[in-house]
Structure 1
């Protein structure tokens, strides 16, 4: 039996890419099951009616990633 969950996109931050069918890879702040929002990277169908598998990051994880990416210059 599939587990039900809820989500609310609290802030749409960036569209990273879009494919020919209109699905977009987005960076958003998303609250899952009423929990505090996390940074979320995943593919979304138009109007956010469907989603693909994704990755969520806490504020601390996002800061670590941001620091690492800054060193790649």
Structure 2
């Protein structure tokens, strides 16, 4: 399997943390040298491992924000 290269350009925030120290984070990440996208996924404490996640363009993130704002929580 090919190595995945990533650069976290901005940490927006942490959504949650597990008892084992993994954090669910929203970050702005450049994957394999491409333009950065917003990314929501689980990370090991030192960012040495990652779980599956979702990447979103700015437009997709705005659409998600609008959907969440419409929800009654």
Structure-2 residue corresponding to 1:51 = 50
What TM-score does the superposition give when structure 1 sets the normalisation length? 0.93
Question: Structure 1, unaligned stretches of length 5 or more?
Answer: none
Q: Aligned-residue CA RMSD in angstroms? A: 0.8
> 1:23: which partner in 2?
22
The offset of 1:20, in angstroms, is 0.7
Would you say how many aligned residue pairs link Structure 1 and Structure 2? 72
Q: Does 1:9 align with 2:8?
A: yes
Q: What is the rounded CA distance, in whole Å, between the counterparts of 2:18 and 2:64 in structure 1?
A: 25
- Runs (4+) of structure 1 moved beyond 2 Å? none
What runs of 5+ residues in structure 2 fail to find an aligned partner? none
Q: Distance in 2 between matches of 1:21 and 1:70?
A: 31
Name the TM-score, length of structure 2 as normaliser: 0.93
